[in-house]
Chains A and B, each alone.
Chain A
Amino acid sequence: MERKFSEIIADQLQGTLKKFIPVFWIPGIGNRLLDRLMNSYAISLLWKGWVMLSLM
């Protein structure tokens, strides 16, 4: 099924974070931390930052 853009961009960010931050490589804990980060307020602000630029 075709994914929505918000899912694609979230997946892409998650992949980038995993690639460059070794703490996310730790089995179990790494994924939990990443999940928590992806659902955090800071990341929700990041999406708004993207929207802000893209709406201009």
Chain B
Amino acid sequence: MSKIKQEKIRRLTLAGENKQPDCVPITSQIETFAYGYAGTTIAEVKKNPIKGVQAYKKCYEDFYFDAFFEPIFVHPFAFFDGLGADSYFASDDGVTAQHKEIAPMEGTEEEYKALIKDPTKFFLDVINPRKFPNLNGAESGQRKAVVDAMKGAGSFLVGMGGGNMALPILTDTPGFMGGFIEMPYDNIFDFLRGFKGSSIDMRRHPDLLVEATEAIFETYTTECEKIYSFLNALSSPPRLVKNAYNVFVKAGEPECSSFPWFFNPTHAPSFMNQQQYEKFYWPTYKKTLELVTKWGGRTCTLLEGEWGPEKLELFKDLKKDSVILYVENDDICAAKKQVGDYQAIMGGMPISLLKSGTKKECLDHTMKVYDECAPGGGFIFTTDKSLLSTDDCNPENLKAVNAFAHAYGRY
């Protein structure tokens, strides 16, 4: 492993553990922006994932980053194509990834009870055929759809795995995603009932909704986390083999390292009041984060939207220095002041400023954030949101900000 990459990993590990590294690490959130910047499109990458890897490589050569988020876009478009779903699609520019809300579950008591009884069976037999047109016809058609989807998933995994191995070598930059978690309530909010349905269910079936999040946590989330934990061990073949044996053969638990981090985007909390959050979201959210901690891993949890200080306060109930709070619309300096002694903080650069501000305004903002958040460590700098389109930021601003931040962030 190159010295530069070793330094970057050490920097990220220490900052994630809420300690002070040699300088503030800078991570990327450049999703499909990378495709547009490198002159390719989602359609081209779907056909040839290598083009996705090449696009990311160009970005990591042109912009300073200590870690990359993903080696190609994280959503397996080709898998969904095989099943006939249009939940993810490219905008007219061919680059901006979008997704639309699909809410295939009915909010009846019967459906909630079926979900609680066996989430996996419910997802396979009820949700899959409703969501995917190609699983909703003759058996021969369903079999073909499964084969097509698996081919799509295969090409995606080749791109993902290949990129995860190639990019660190090609660009001296490690990936920071060592797992992925969707929280139990967000599974219902995002994929089953949607915004409107889950808001109604909080009032109409509050107890069933709580039971459903518990059932998803117990029999689904924990198992999915085990599968995703293999990303955490990719750089350590002996641990990878040990974990494969422990998980698949002994039905045990994986052993994880402090870096790379499990990544978790949260979606519902900013739409909930404190009482709803504590009743429906926090209990299984807390358990899921604690599970990763128990395995020795660390979760980088993206606090989408604006959470407010009351919700942030609850992170003090978790083991100290066990998660990284990636702040989106909350005031990052206030968040650092409030919970920075307990958990590491990530974020700092609004993409709206990168898009519309002058270079001087961007650098002034960076300096202000660093002055307030960097002292003492436990701070990771990145954009507040993912860049999805070439219009999402002025690349010259991003280049200047990251170069300046890398120099200014030395301890």
Contacts and interface: CB of A to CB of B under 8 A. Distances in A.
A53 B76 contact: yes
A51 interface: yes
Nearest to B75: A56
B244 to A, nearest CB: 10
Contacts of A53: 76, 79, 153
A44 B118 CA distance: 12
Interface size class of A (residues with CB under 8 A): 20 to 34
Contact of A54 (B83, B142, B143): B83
B131 interface: yes
Given A5-B128, A5-B135, A47 B251 contact: no
A41 interface: yes
Nearest to A42: B248
A48 interface: yes
Given A5-B125, A6-B121, A54-B132, A12 B76 contact: no
Given A8-B142, A12-B146, A45-B247, A54 B131 contact: yes
A12 B124 CA distance: 14
Contacts of A41: 248, 251
B249 A42 contact: yes
A5 to B, nearest CB: 5
A48 to B, nearest CB: 5
Interface in B104-131: 120-121, 123-125, 127-129, 131
Contacts of B226: 45
Interface string B235-266: 00000000000011101000000000000000
A55 B143 contact: no
B317 interface: no
A10 B102 CA distance: 26
Max count, chain B CB within 10 A of own CB: residue among A9, A45, A51: A51
B161 to A, nearest CB: 14
B224 interface: yes
18 contacts: A2-B139, A6-B125, A41-B248, A42-B249, A44-B223, A45-B223, A47-B120, A47-B124, A48-B220, A48-B224, A48-B227, A49-B224, A51-B120, A52-B227, A54-B128, A55-B182, A56-B75, A56-B80
Given A48-B224, A51-B123, A56-B88, 20 more contacts: A2-B139, A6-B124, A6-B125, A41-B251, A45-B226, A45-B247, A47-B120, A47-B124, A48-B120, A48-B223, A48-B227, A51-B128, A52-B224, A52-B227, A54-B123, A54-B127, A54-B149, A55-B123, A55-B191, A56-B80
Interface of B: 75-76, 79-80, 83, 87-88, 120-121, 123-125, 127-129, 131-132, 135, 139, 142-143, 146, 149, 153, 182, 187, 191, 220, 223-224, 226-227, 247-249, 251
